Amino acid sequence: MPTFDSILRIVALALDQLEVAVCVFDNRGRTVLWNETFLQFFPEHAGHVYAGEDYRENLRRFYLQRLPQDELPSMERYIEEGVQRHHSQQRAFEFDHHGYRVRVASLSFGAFGRVRLWRKTTPLLTGMQDRINPKLTPLPGRILPDTAMALESLADGILMVDEKDGTLWANHSFLRLYGLSDIKDLGARRFDEIYAAAWQHEEPTAGYTTGLSVLKERQRFSGAPYVLALPRNRWVRIVELRGTQANGTSFFSHVDITTQWRQQEELKQLSLHLESLAVKDALTGLLNRRRFDEVLEAEWRRAHHSEMVLSLLMLDVDHFKHLNDTHGHPFGDEVLKRFATVLAGRIQRTDSLVARYGGEEFAVLLPGTALADAAQLAELIRQQVETMSLGNEQTGLVRITISIGVACASDLAFNASSSMLVDMADRALYEAKRKGRNQVACS
């Protein structure tokens, strides 16, 4: 029975006979196979592409032979955007390549990965051919009245261009989007010139700067939908409908998506806020127990694979119940918030984690930190808290102390569960309290 790989190879050979280029990638973006037509379309890959190669390297070769010198500094950004297109593409688009317009489609194989297909559509005509033989690609002087009437009834903006991307006609919806009072204002400008003119008397924004870059890139990858920022916080989505007219003209559809865009941004901010609430403790602003458990498990596995040590501090406010009972819960909350501030200020390493473990108990996870260093850090924290006093007119000054348990796992310990490290630190914390509190104990 043929395997999945052997079926793909048979299909790739069949596509060679149809002059369709194909390249298959796994679900991690690594090259699996390609056919001879792929190398004919993209000769820069011949002798260089190999099974297992990251798609980014494929794109890097592609851009190195296409980009002018002044655009090379932007190549890494183009590559990352190309990777995003590769993973999210849902419809075919076209671009000009080696004298031909090429149409490319990208299809997902689910868990197996993704396949990209290319076929040539039409040869690119030179400007000289256009002038010498206008019958070959007639230049439309105007749009048919019936077509214009139909397009004028649309709420979306429609722009008609010639094969050189020079403007021929636009409906009133397009004119309103870009602040044009009359169709005569179009002239024979390209759309990127119209877009820049729309911003001429406006304060440039980051969205406008990004829009210019997008337009410059879309000159190479026409057909893929894209979004541009307009003045006064408006947004438009553009789809290029190329190759639909026998006379060489094409249409650009411009859809005002301002409302949807703002709603998406609001939903994105709300999602980020909810995500933050899900992993943060509301009182102290530190990460919560749920997030601590997730990170502990991940760091436990990482330490095991990289043969690193992993230390944990379990910290507890001494006599916290007495503080609450004597001075009230608002005072107890203030103690926890001040203690959290001390911890967050003291633990500055980006790979460390500070969390409220529960009640008056806190946890500090220290990847790559040996027991002696973790114990030294714990003592510094204990000393800093010991010098901290809280109070008001009703409570007077109240001395705050903490107890800390320190544990460290390494070598064979990682064969056990990550909960072992918590148990070790808990036992050390209990020992610190048994010995009189306000001290550090090591497991």
| Strand partners of residue 442 | 406
Label each residue of 104-162 as H, E or C: EEEEECHHHCEEEEEEEEEECCCHHHHHHCCCCCCCCCCCCHHHHHHHHCCCCEEEEEC
Q: Is 165 in a helix, a strand, or coil?
A: coil
Q: Other C-beta atoms within 10 Å of 350: how many?
A: 6
Residue pair 113/32 in contact (Cβ under 8 Å)? The answer is: yes
| Strand partners of residue 206 | none
Element (H, E) at 22: strand 21-25
Q: Which of 94, 240, 299, 360 is catalytic?
A: 360
Cα–Cα distance measured from residue 35 to residue 14, given in angstroms and rounded to the nearest whole number = 9
| Residue 360 annotated among the catalytic residues of the structure | yes
Q: Is the dihedral angle over the CA atoms 65, 69, 73, 77 positive or is it negative? A: negative
Please list, in sequence order, all residues whose beta carbon lies within 8 angstroms of the beta carbon of residue 98, skipping any fewer than 6 positions away: 41
C-alpha of 200 from chain center: 31
What is the set of active-site residues? 360
